[in-house]
Chains A and B, each alone.
Chain A
Amino acid sequence: MLKVDDLHVWYELKRFGLGHAGYVRAVDGVSFELNAGEAMACVGESGCGKSSLMKTILRLNKPTKGTIDFKGINVGELDGLDLRDYRSKVGFIQQDPFGALAPFMTIQQILEEPLIINGFTNAAERQSKIETIMEEVKLTPVEEILPKFPHMLSGGQQQRVVIARAMILEPDLLVADEPVSMLDASVRVEILKLLRNLQEKHNLAVIYITHDLSTVRYFSEYIFVMYAGQIVEFAPIKSLLENPTHPYTQALLEASGDPDAKNALEYKEIPPGEPPSLVNPPSGCRFHPRCKFAIKGKCDVDMPKPMPVVDGSNMAITGNKHVAACWLVEEEWKERAGLTN
């Protein structure tokens, strides 16, 4: 349904507001596909380009290079009414619910606005749509909540309003940008379960952007890990958790753990340094300056291509779906070939 092919999003840097001073390569060659009814998680640290990717899918940015194909439409070239139609098919759930809701509008106005813009002229029809969606996201009692302003609701309820607003035009694709990171731990799971139910019920495609690996498992089938504007690993969730292959993915998993009193007794192994500048990314693999497995003369020279991962238990490829962009994978394949010959 959604096909992103070799997408680049570069922002131009100006010197004194005039001369050209280089590009910030926020997204640099990202490709993936998403089918209807699938949830895909995008994991990465801040500054890895996941928000730029999301904004480009929503067409708030224009792609610099590459294409986004949504049901046969080239999203990059849309404008005017076509763009409005496209946006009505793509829902967006913001990170900070309070910041995303206009403080001077009632919940009624907030939920009615997209319907008015998209040509629902019958007031009774709008009202019934609003009530249905509010029941669905469990914002009840409806009559009590509709005249309220956002600040009168709790954080969890605010996020439900944001979800209702994203869902009210019955989109095919939902982009959720860290939908629970601003919420309390006890409410997070509730909102994630709600999103999952909506996704299954309406056969939605969902892109779930997060930096919290532990919530991904309950929410999506596939996951890709981004680092410095590129996808470093793509896999079905289970496969990634059992067999993390890229050293960056391994570091992420090492850093996020389950609660356990033993954690206090040991130090975690964290790669040194910080993510690179996207104006002048490192040559070769972008993770190589921080990677403890880096091979001199290879990792710092050539950029690794995504390769299917070798399964630990047998010679089979992990369903062909688990790919990682790391030279170590190629080394491992070579080693395996040497052993069997």
Chain B
Amino acid sequence: MNNNETTDLLRVRDLKLHFRVKSGAVQAVDGVNFDLPKNQATVILGESGCGKSSLAKAILRLLPKNVDHYSGEVFLNNQDIMKLSDEQFRKDIRWQRIAMVPQAALNSLNPVMRVGDQVAEPILLDGKLTKKEAMELALEKFDQVGVPADFLYRYAFELSGGMRQRVAIAMSLITEPEMVLLDEPTSALDVLTQANIMNLLKRFKAEKKASFILITHDIATSSELADNVAVMYAGQVVEVSDAHNFFTEPLHPYSKALMDSVPRLYGEMQPDFISGQPPSLLKPPTGCRFADRCPARFERCSDEPPVFNMSDGRKVKCWLHESDSVSAESNPDTWEEMYAKS
């Protein structure tokens, strides 16, 4: 693939984020590749502990103190934002071009600030607008996300869960960023509120040409917004696919198991569960990381599979698809080599 010419808004290449803990390095994000085309939504699916939220942190460079290893390339409109200094990144990228809606809206809103002030804060930081202009803009965003105007002067605890989530979305949209990272935006909400928020995001995508990365473990909800799906397992992306193919016939055995575990409202399918547990990210298995839980495991699985490109543009990291793939991407570095380098 040519890295210089693309219409993709965001391209993530070999992104790694490891945390240092007492007993070693947690390889939370380990060589992740995926793309986000303009005005589309890419869903990152996976169980808890597979590195989804760490991936969001890695993209936005919101790093905790115990980072052990942080590398890779993140192209935003063909510019490698990993090369920017922390100060430049804070000024130009974070919240200006990539905004985020964090997981629990109650915990992410400041309890001692009125929500209107919080929403206006990101545009006040660069000092180009007066407070009054910023509040007008905040009001406009409140209107767009369906929060009544007098809520500007309320505190977070006075709002219901759905309203808080709307405020968090308004806050992410206020700088008119090129893309928004949504980390489990609806997991703590009731079904009707959930559907309302998804409607809102769909409308922003259709009318404002917004681009989203949606991080979630809720497959049914993710299908409300998805154009593309990337499935994560144990710190790695194991399948990248368009939404239609993924929701009808996923390729990777883990994706299949995930789809089978969804209880359905209609139809005869009985849901099944994935036995076993994800591997420890302190010492991930050397071969395929899903092999221990995989029903289709065979001898090849003790070697790490490369990413196979399928003829319909899907990518899957599984030996089962070696024969029907059109090409394979080179095997990522082994751990030993990587540590020798660093």
Interface residues, chain A, with chain B CB atoms under 8 Å away: 45-46, 154-155, 184-190, 192-193, 211-215, 217-218, 241, 251-261, 263-264, 267-268, 270-271, 274
Q: Which residues of B contact A258 (CB under 8 A)?
A: 220, 262, 264-267
Q: Which residues of A contact B199 (CB under 8 A)?
A: 267-268, 270
* Other-chain residue from B48, B196, B223 in contact with A270 (beta carbon distance below 8 A): B196
Nearest CB of chain A from residue B223's CB, rounded to whole Å: 4
Known A241-B265, A255-B192, A259-B220; contact A264-B243, beta-carbon cutoff 8 A: yes
Contact with A along B199-235 (1 / 0, CB 8 A): 1001100000000000001111011111100000000
Bound complex: CA A270 to CA B190 (Å): 12
Q: Which residues of A contact B273 (CB under 8 A)?
A: 186-190, 193
* Other-chain residue from A184, A188, A189, A264 in contact with B227 (beta carbon distance below 8 A): A264
* A-B contact list, 6 entries, CB within 8 Å: A184-B47, A186-B274, A188-B273, A256-B195, A258-B267, A264-B226
Which one of B24-32, B253-261, B314-322 contacts A?
B253-261
Bound complex: CA A155 to CA B277 (Å): 11
The answer, yes or no, to whether B248 is at the interface (CB within 8 Å) is yes
The answer, yes or no, to whether B133 is at the interface (CB within 8 Å) is no
Contact with A along B240-282 (1 / 0, CB 8 A): 0001101110000000011101111111001111110100000
Whether B220 lies near A252 (C-beta < 8 A) is no
The answer, yes or no, to whether B12 is at the interface (CB within 8 Å) is no
The answer, yes or no, to whether B191 is at the interface (CB within 8 Å) is yes
- Chain A: which residue is nearest B187 at the CB level? A181
Nearest CB of chain B from residue A168's CB, rounded to whole Å: 24
Whether A184 lies near B243 (C-beta < 8 A) is no
Bound complex: CA A285 to CA B98 (Å): 46
The answer, yes or no, to whether B194 is at the interface (CB within 8 Å) is yes
Nearest CB of chain A from residue B204's CB, rounded to whole Å: 12
Whether A252 lies near B244 (C-beta < 8 A) is no
The answer, yes or no, to whether B198 is at the interface (CB within 8 Å) is yes
Whether B244 lies near A257 (C-beta < 8 A) is no
Bound complex: CA A5 to CA B89 (Å): 63
* Other-chain residue from B160, B225, B257 in contact with A274 (beta carbon distance below 8 A): B160
Q: Which residues of A contact B190 (CB under 8 A)?
A: 45-46, 211
Besides A189-B273, A256-B265, A257-B224, 6 other CB < 8 A contacts? A186-B47, A193-B273, A214-B264, A255-B192, A268-B199, A270-B199
Known A193-B273, A259-B219; contact A271-B225, beta-carbon cutoff 8 A: no
The answer, yes or no, to whether B51 is at the interface (CB within 8 Å) is no
- Chain B: which residue is nearest A46 at the CB level? B190
Whether A261 lies near B246 (C-beta < 8 A) is yes
Known A186-B257, A261-B246; contact A213-B195, beta-carbon cutoff 8 A: no
Whether B192 lies near A252 (C-beta < 8 A) is yes
Q: Which residues of B contact A257 (CB under 8 A)?
A: 220, 223-224, 265
Known A214-B264, A255-B191; contact A267-B203, beta-carbon cutoff 8 A: yes
Whether A260 lies near B262 (C-beta < 8 A) is no
The answer, yes or no, to whether B306 is at the interface (CB within 8 Å) is no
Known A189-B273, A264-B202; contact A45-B219, beta-carbon cutoff 8 A: no
Bound complex: CA A211 to CA B257 (Å): 24
The answer, yes or no, to whether B162 is at the interface (CB within 8 Å) is yes
Bound complex: CA A260 to CA B223 (Å): 6
- Chain A: which residue is nearest B248 at the CB level? A261
Whether B203 lies near A217 (C-beta < 8 A) is no
Most buried by B among A188, A190, A258: A258
Bound complex: CA A46 to CA B161 (Å): 10
Whether A264 lies near B220 (C-beta < 8 A) is no
Most buried by A among B199, B246, B273: B273
Whether A264 lies near B224 (C-beta < 8 A) is yes
Bound complex: CA A251 to CA B192 (Å): 8
Bound complex: CA A274 to CA B265 (Å): 24
The B148-165 residues at the A interface (CB cut-off 8 A) are 160-162
Nearest CB of chain B from residue A98's CB, rounded to whole Å: 13
